[in-house]
Amino acid sequence: MKFLDNMSFGQYVPADSPIHRADPRCKIVSAVALITGVFLVKEPLGFSSWIAVLIFLSRLSRIGIPMMLRTVRPVMLLIAFTAVINVFFTSGTPLWEMGPVSITSEGIRMGIYMSLRLLLLVLFANLLTLTTSPMALADGIESLLSPFKKIGMPAHDIAMMMTIALRFIPTLLNETDRIMKAQLARGADLDRGGLIRRLKAFIPVLIPLFVIVFQRADDLAVAMEARCYRGGGGRTRMKPFIWSWRDGLSLVFVIISVVVITLLEGRLKL
């Protein structure tokens, strides 16, 4: 159960694949490009191309489609919500009407597309976090942000915060699970009543969780200091980035596919 929870938040799954081995900067830029691509398409052809790309990449990463799909679970509600909103609130030719509520064919299309977009977005983003260790991810972001250091952006601190946040997700999920069960055992009712009542019922879970988080943060800060951490200055890396020709080539392919899929779709529509 615990392990599944970790995966469902797109936690890093160590494996040996071309995608795992790629330079994190290449992967971050690619993910951004792919997500942009997803937002540029508007037609079945475009969407199906991106689904094909996703399937190809997840095969290549050895993560596999079933495991990928599991990572969408936490945002499933949001996706469903998006679909419903679009179905009911897009104007056009009504297919079905009852009072002020109507369903239009445009609405159905919009609903399907918007939720597909969201789904693809989450999946491409998760493909990045599933195949990139948090440390590498953070270092990659730091490296990409380093040009902005000149204008005062704390690139290193942002990256370190991300690493730690990702590192503590599994721990905190376990804690939440344990505290929730402990309060259930004390008779707490966490899933009955309206929204306000439910929020109130979560106080006995949230307060202990805050206490634990602060305690952990405090401990971690001391432990990091004891290990000579003093911010980004003077730090070196065990795994320095080596931008290989493969990374360059992959990035070129990604960008070409974004351009081609977008253009092709536009052309066909014309």
100 binds other proteins (CB under 8 A): no
269 binds other proteins (CB under 8 A): no
Residues forming a β-bridge with 103: 96
Binding to other proteins, residues 240-259 (CB under 8 A): 240
* Residue among 183 and 262 whose Cβ is closer to other proteins: 183
Distance, in Å, from the CA atom of 123 to the CA atom of 144, rounded to the nearest integer, reads: 22
179 binds other proteins (CB under 8 A): yes
The one among 69, 108, 155, 164 contacting other proteins by CB under 8 A: 164
- Cβ contact 205:182 at 8 Å: no
Q: Minimal distance in Å, beta carbon 85 to other proteins?
A: 32
CA distances from 144 to 26, 233, 241, 248 (A): 10, 17, 12, 15
The one among 212, 241, 255, 266 contacting other proteins by CB under 8 A: 212
- Cβ contact 137:129 at 8 Å: yes
Tokens of 23: 């330079």
114 binds other proteins (CB under 8 A): no
- Angle of helix 134-145 versus helix 24-40 axis, rounded to 10: 80
Q: Minimal distance in Å, beta carbon 240 to other proteins?
A: 6
Longest dimension (CA), the chain: 68
Contact positions vs other proteins (CB under 8 A): 1, 3-4, 6, 11-14, 133-135, 163-164, 166-167, 170-171, 175, 178-179, 181-189, 203-204, 207-208, 211-212, 215-216, 219-220, 222-230, 234-240
